[in-house]
Amino acid sequence: MLWITRFSGIFSAAMAVIVLSPSLQSFPPAAAIRSSPSPIFRKAQVIFNNGEECLSSGGVCNPSLVHVAITLDVEYLRGSIAAVNSILQHTMCPESIFFHFIVVVSEETKLLESLVKSTFPELKFNIYYFTPETVRGLISSSVRQALEQPLNYARNYLADLLEPCVNRVIYLDSDLVVVDDIAKLWKTSLGSRVIGAPEYCHANFTKYFTGGFWSEERFSGTFKGRKPCYFNTGVMVIDLKKWRNGGYTKRIEKWMEIQKTERIYELGSLPPFLLVFAGDVAPISHRWNQHGLGGDNVRGSCRDLHPGPVSLLHWSGSGKPWLRLDSKRPCPLDALWTPYDLYRHSH
C-alpha cells in the first residue's frame, strides 16, 4: 500500500536527522523562549500560494476558508509550531487556511504572537485570549498535573472566543502532526451532529468514570438511549452554530460542577465531553487520529502505529516527542515528528 511506503521513507529520513544531528538542544524549550533575544524557530519553508483548484480566500468571515483552532503556550509552543508546519506542508490551499490561536493572557503573550509571525510570515491567523478564571473554579485534580491546566479547557469555549461568523472549526491539540491535506478533514459531514471525531468503540468506556458514577442512576442515566464510545478530544470537527444554539458550553460546565462535589471521573477535560457527546458523535475515519503515541498518562512509554492508513499522528499521553528527542531517549515513531520541527537547536 502507498501509505506504508510513504511512511517508511519519512521514517528513514527522520531517523537520520535524529542520529546525525550534532546538538538536540542544551536546555528546555520553555527556558529558551523566555530568555532568547532572537527567534528560536526557523522560518518555515512553505510555498504560500493556492493551487488552481482552490477557492478564493479572504478575511476571517470568508465562507471558503478552512478554520483551525490550536492553543499556544510556552511549554507546548514547539509542538504547536510543528503542527502548523505539518498542515501547511501537506495542503493544496495554504492561503485558504485560517488559524485561531488560543492563549492565556500573560507576560509572554506578545512573544508567542511574534514568534508565530516570524516563523510563518504569510500565515492567516488571529489570537484569542482565554481567561483562566473562566474555569479555574471548575477544574478538579487529575491523574496528571498537565491535564489540570486551564488552557486544556479552552476548547469548551471556542464558540464564545471565535468570531460569530465562524460556524465550523477543526480543533487540534498541540502534540500532533498532519500528514494529509486538512481540507479532507474539513469536508467531513456532521449531519445533524454537533461534533465529529474518530470513535473507538472497542475501548473500555466504563474506565473513564468512577464506580460511584456507574452505581448512581442520576449520573449513569445520562447515557440512556445512547451507545457511548470513547473518542479523543484532541481532534474534532465542531459545528459552532449548533454548539451556540444548543448551549453546549453550559452543559459541559454542569458536569464539571458535579465533579467538584461527587468525584465521578479522574481524567481532566475529556470526561465532560464524553458525558455530553458520547454516542452522538459524527464518525470520522481513524486515519485522522492515530493517537496514543505519547504512551499512557504516567510512564509515556513507546507505542506502535495502529493498523491502517495514516493522515494524522497524535502524541497523546505523557510522552512528547520533543522532550524525548532532547533527552536523547526517543521512541521510534518520534522520528515521524522530527521533519516538522522548526526549533533552532543552536539555542
Could you tell me which residues are beta bridge partners of residue 172? Answer: 235
Q: What is the pLDDT of residue 142?
A: 57
- Which range scores top for mean pLDDT: 131-140, 227-236, 297-306? 227-236
Residue 336 pLDDT > 50, yes or no?
yes
Q: Tell me which amino acid residue 113 is.
A: E
pLDDT tens sequence across 251-282: 999 999 999 999 999 878 899 999 999 999 99
pLDDT tens sequence across 35-79: 766 668 999 998 788 888 898 788 999 999 999 999 999 999 999
The phi, psi pair for 97, rounded to 5°, reads -105, 125
Q: Work out the end-to-end distance of the chain between its first and last CA atoms, rounded to an integer number of angstroms.
A: 40
At 145, the pLDDT band (50, 70, 90 cuts) reads: low
Q: How far apart are CA 110 and CA 191, in angstroms?
A: 39
C-beta of residue 44 within 8 angstroms of C-beta of residue 339: no
Q: Tell me which amino acid residue 160 is.
A: D
